[in-house]
Amino acid sequence: MQHAQTPMKTSPEAHPGSIRIMFVCMGNICRSPLAHGIFCDLVAKAGLAARFEVASSGTGAWHVGQPPDARMRQTARQHGVSLDGLRARQFVEADLEAYDHIFVMDKDNLHDVRYLDRHDRYGHKVRLFREVDPEPGDYQVPDPYYGGAQGFETVYAMVNRTARELLDRLIEVYQLPRG
């Protein structure tokens, strides 16, 4: 799965030594592809696309192969972020080893991802995405799937703010150049 609008690779084998980021929600059609798209856009604008590999997935397999929800694509598009080219995939046990950082959208996703870590080796990689949000609230990104347009806007603002903070922190931790 590659993000069609940026040169950023999304497979863990793309650039050895790259920082590998995975965003996870339940079905990989709303929250995690939005985080994927926003983070790719921010990284590209910072001139750091070659330093990151970004992917998204869902804990469930209901939407595998499908594009992100049309309402989420529309919301992202209105803010200048393209989710075109993204397709849902399911998070698998091998992702625990393949990615450096795994950011989940809510506590249910956290439980489901950690459940796959049968030998408790990768828990240090798995975090709630909003742990880095300057306004974390309950630390969860609500699922807008069953709500109206305002829910998608609320999630966009939350994910955008958190993705910006995440990139700033990763730039600091990995001592990357600021663009």
Whether 25 is catalytic is yes
Helices of type H across the chain: 31-45, 70-78, 93-98, 107-115, 149-173
Tokens of 68: 């992100």
Whether 138 is catalytic is no
Whole-angstrom Cα distance, residue 77 to residue 52? 22
Identify the burial level of 10 via C-beta atoms within 10 angstroms of its C-beta, where 0-12 means exposed, 13-18 middle and 19 or more buried. Answer: buried
Marked catalytic residue, from 20, 25, 73, 89:
25
Marked catalytic residue, from 20, 31, 51, 73:
31
Q: CB count, 10 Å around CB of 166?
A: 25
Marked catalytic residue, from 69, 95, 106, 143:
143
CA atoms within 13 A on the CB side of 140: 12
Whole-angstrom Cα distance, residue 150 to residue 166? 24
Whether 161 is catalytic is no
Q: Catalytic residue numbers?
A: 25, 31, 143
